[in-house]
Amino acid sequence: MAPIALIYDVHGNLPALEAVLEDAPGVEGFVLGGDYALFGPWPAETVAELRLLPNAIWIRGNGERWTAEPAEAPDNEVVPGAVEACRKELGAQTVDELGALPMEAMLDDTLVCHASPSSDVRSFMPARSDDEEELLAGVTGPRLVFGHTHLPFRRVSEGGIELVNPGSVGMPFDGDPRAAYALLYDDGRVEHRRVTYDHQASAEAVKERFGTGGWTETVARRIATAQM
């Protein structure tokens, strides 16, 4: 059977999403792992494109929660301004709909979430961390798919759970600016993929759409350099 595409952390980067969708070879369906719109230059357009995808499982990321509940977002030089811009672009109805998405879902015996089953901001890294056992508490299936850190990897936990991060479509943080996603095959095989697109143009589009200075400079730099 055709694979499932794991699409995470698009962050309003429509050209990156379009490149991934063009690359995905005849997929059967999609897991949409949250952080769809916040920070990017095309938040509403990106959500509209995602809504066209067939057989899609949607879950909520911290970006959707922060956009729906700005008081819960970090108070720093980047997030509040980006949240305000995203709310205006999406409109109240879409903000509420995305904020009401579930935190997790099941795909056969695979649990999918945004960061971890217990949190949409605490997640796993390529190397094991001290809180990993805590974050995996209650997970009984053989595989967990998550995102949030924008770092594509696959490894097995000490307890034998396969951890799969497809990476970020719209804002990778591993130094490679190509859009990242993964394919999950029905035999359990996972294929990480990277797709070239004009990331420099997307970086500049953030400032063109929302003005220079403040949060847009940081976001543009992240897209351009693929670094946090």
Task: Tell me the CB-side half-sphere exposure of residue 3, using CA atoms within 13 A.
Answer: 18
The 4-7 sheet, strands edge to edge: 56-58, 29-32, 4-7, 179-184, 190-195
Six token digits for residue 45: 């357009």
* Phi, psi (deg, nearest 5) at residue 104: -150, 165
Six token digits for residue 146: 């998550």
Provide DSSP, 55-79: SEEE---HHHHHHH-GGGS--SSSH
Six token digits for residue 1: 């059977």
The confidence score (pLDDT) of residue 203 equals: 98
Number of folded domains that form the chain: 1
The confidence score (pLDDT) of residue 137 equals: 92
Report the C-alpha gap between 40 and 42 in whole angstroms. 6
Query: Is the CB of residue 87 less than 8 Å from the CB of residue 70?
Result: yes
pLDDT tens digits, one per residue of 38-79: 999 999 999 999 999 999 999 999 999 999 999 999 999 999
Domain of 113, in residue numbers: 4-225
pLDDT tens digits, one per residue of 23-37: 998 999 999 999 999
Confidence of residue 132 (pLDDT cuts 50, 70, 90): very high
- Alpha helices of 51-185 — where are they, by DSSP H? 62-68, 79-90, 92-99, 132-135
List the CATH number of the domain containing 13. 3.60.21.10
pLDDT at 1 over 80: no
pLDDT tens digits, one per residue of 172-203: 999 999 999 999 999 999 999 999 999 999 99
Sign of CA dihedral 49, 52, 53, 55: positive
Calculate mean pLDDT across residues 205-209: 98
